Structure 1
């Protein structure tokens, strides 16, 4: 085990231990969340120790009060009583055995199973002036001391709690299909022949930060001139919290000065790399869920099982590559009478699955 994540309550009566903070959604199943709570019974004063795992849509920062400045909606919550122990626990995982060695006799294991229809951790990038705020879907493991698991009339002091934010993430599948292709033929006024445009990518999925070769074929059968080629990558985000709210952000725009005269052709590959580092100022851009101030990526494409309830996803993300030709009529008015020919192909952006870290 490379690292142990630990949070202790303000009164030091309980401590939360996790061996990792990234839990993988394999589409058909999700990694179990297995950890340990260390409990010092001396300070409990007859109360119990609980742990919950919650998936929530959040807006605002944790230090804001609840007068409309901060918003949180729990999408899914599970609770377990840790102390006193009730019932029988499942067999300890290798991760829990390793954590129990660090906790000693006061350690109590817990295990959560995350539903497969829940969203992955994803955030919406705040504006620069809102840098302290968070907006998006996150997962929280929280241990707390209370008389009851969830009594709205019981006030739980912050010193009786400890919590860690975790991530539910998807990695690229092992098998990747062939890349998509799109084409169009467009006719213009005063011309009986079209401009034909075809765009394709080699495979359907690319990793964050990898170059994406976009193959472009142009057959200009007209007397017009193609002045340049513009390639954009567009992120579409659907926020499904209450009602579907769909919007798009351009995460890359590149123009290539390729002139294709009338009755000529071009076949060429152009390489683009959409990066979050080039989009730091764009408010509302979807990014992969982050822990503290760690660097992250543009949000990965949302992969869902057939028949899965989209409404449970919270935020869904997809991408497309758009290829546009600026076609000019030529002559004195060529620039004023230019028009576009365009196609778009879907793009899947994800992170590669890392090597497994052994548990010691």
Structure 2
């Protein structure tokens, strides 16, 4: 059950003064310091995300081909994401709808690993005629998902583009 409360990993440093090593700490003789880990975006951009996928159909001599790309890999909060989509439909099927969505993936790696995903932005168009080491904590990733809807019998053609969303490093 999701209770809607924030989820995270908290670090706390606690120090106390005692006369003997086995004395219990009390509020009046201890101090606590909360520590928060902040990650900033790298200074240089990575490789531009791009993906190509194709789908073949029975009784159709040619394929439906989808190319999707982002204008860059790294975005800052509040910045627009430009998604470039190129469709080459050489099949005899009709693309009925194009959906583009931004999805957030959160991997919670504590005692066991669980993954949660949710759509954080989405655009839809009707078509009339043709680096991992061991991690503990919460790992958040983002992907742009491009989906071509071909109707009940045609199925869907899906492409995903991972990207980075981070705060810029503050100037010193």
The TM tier, using the shorter chain, reads 0.7 to 0.9
Is residue 93–residue 154 contact of structure 2 (8 Å, CA) maintained in 1?
no
Query: Structure 1 residues 216 and 166 mapped into 2: Cα distance closer, same or farther (>3 Å)?
Result: same
Comparing both chains, which one has the higher relative contact order based on Cα–Cα distances under 8 Å and sequence gaps of 6 or more?
A: 2
- Structure 2 residue 97 is the aligned partner of structure 1 residue 221: no
Query: Relative to total residues, which structure has the larger helix share, 1 or 2?
Result: 1
Pairwise CA distance, 1:338: 4.4
The two structures, once aligned, show a CA RMSD in angstroms of 2.3
Aligned position for 2:134: 310
1:43-122 alignment to 2 at 5 Å?
Answer: none
Aligned position for 2:159: 343
1:161 to 16, 22, 30: 30
Deviations 1:150-183 (A, max 9, x none): x5x5322223333342321111111102311101
Count of aligned pairs: 171
How high is the TM-score relative to the length of structure 2?
0.84
Is residue 184–residue 343 contact of structure 1 (8 Å, CA) maintained in 2?
yes
- Structure 2 residue 60 is the aligned partner of structure 1 residue 188: no
Runs of 4+ off more than 6 Å: none
Aligned position for 2:111: 242
Query: Structure 1 residues 258 and 143 mapped into 2: Cα distance closer, same or farther (>3 Å)?
Result: farther
SS in structure 2 of the partner of residue 159 of structure 1: helix
CA distance in 2, matches of 1:256, 1:164: 51
CA distance in 2, matches of 1:183, 1:194: 12
Is residue 204–residue 348 contact of structure 1 (8 Å, CA) maintained in 2?
yes
Aligned position for 1:147: 19
Pairwise CA distance, 1:199: 0.5
CA distance in 2, matches of 1:136, 1:314: 7
1:218-297 alignment to 2 at 5 Å?
Answer: 218-261=87-130
2:41 to 147, 172, 177: 172
Segments of 5+ residues of structure 2 without an aligned counterpart are none
Is residue 225–residue 259 contact of structure 1 (8 Å, CA) maintained in 2?
no
- Structure 2 residue 146 is the aligned partner of structure 1 residue 323: yes
Pairwise CA distance, 1:195: 1.0
- Structure 2 residue 3 is the aligned partner of structure 1 residue 127: yes
Aligned position for 1:136: 8
CA distance in 1, matches of 2:37, 2:70: 29
Deviations 1:7-51 (A, max 9, x none): xxxxxxxxxxxxxxxxxxxxxxxxxxxxxxxxxxxxxxxxxxxxx
Aligned position for 1:204: 73
Segments of 5+ residues of structure 1 without an aligned counterpart are 1-125, 262-303, 329-335
